[in-house]
Structure 1
Amino acid sequence: MQQLDYDNIFDVVADNPAEAADLQFRTDLMLTLRKLLVERNWRQAEIAETLGVSQPRVSELMRGKIDLFSADKLIGLLARLDVRLRPSVDASGRVICEVVQAA
């Protein structure tokens, strides 16, 4: 039996590498957002008010409904929590992304 090896689980379900990268990026954003919200121990109604979305939308977010959220939307939700992404290129030419939370 042949074993398949993937660096990214989304390579299995995506039609191309760009789609797989988008799925991975949105997943990373969603998991980060969810972790921040869980750590704050907020009820869904509090989350909805803070993020400016409906409670059903919060439920979709917390259940990981990745297909319902664009990267832009997730970045915007993080911004409502004063979290910013700062991509840059380091001295060796590698792309890095710093995550900054306002004090």
Structure 2
Amino acid sequence: MPMTKIEAFDSVWDAVADTSGQAASLRARAEPMRQIAAVIEGNDWTPSAAAMHCGVAQPRSDDLLRGRVSRFCLNALVNSATAMGRRVHMELQAA
């Protein structure tokens, strides 16, 4: 039986992305999504209340809570965080 090569990745984003740029974009979107979802869950908002507080339609807030990173751009996440009364901070780090 032939041996298969096992690849190791630094993160799940590196494993699912085709390029390092795509992985960085996924990583950058995943963090605000996680934080927005934590606020929603911490406030025990219903799905419709979550959508209202995020300034989006309920299917969009459902996508956010399900972690569908590929369906969001940073701009949409910043807009949702701002609608919730949050401020977004980003920083660049050496690779």
TM-score (norm 2): 0.81
Matched residue count? 91
Structure with the higher helix share, 1 or 2: 2
Instruction: Give unpaired runs (5+ residues) of structure 1.
Output: 96-103
Q: CA RMSD in A?
A: 1.9
Higher strand share: 1
- Partner secondary structure for residue 56 of structure 1: helix
Equivalent residue, structure 1, for 2:86:
83
How far residue 3 of structure 1 moved from its aligned partner, in angstroms, is 4.2
1:42 aligns to 2:40 (yes or no):
no
Flag structure 2 segments of 5+ consecutive residues without an equivalent.
none
Structure 1 residue ranges (4+ consecutive) displaced by more than 6 angstroms after TM superposition: none
Q: Quick check: 31-40 or 78-87, which moved more?
A: 78-87
Partner of 1:63: 66
CA distance in 1 between partners of 2:67 and 2:86 (Å): 19
Higher relative contact order (CA 8 A, sep 6+): 2
Match of 1:33 in 2: 36
Counterpart Cα distance in 2 of 1:87 and 1:70: 14
SS at match of 1:4: coil
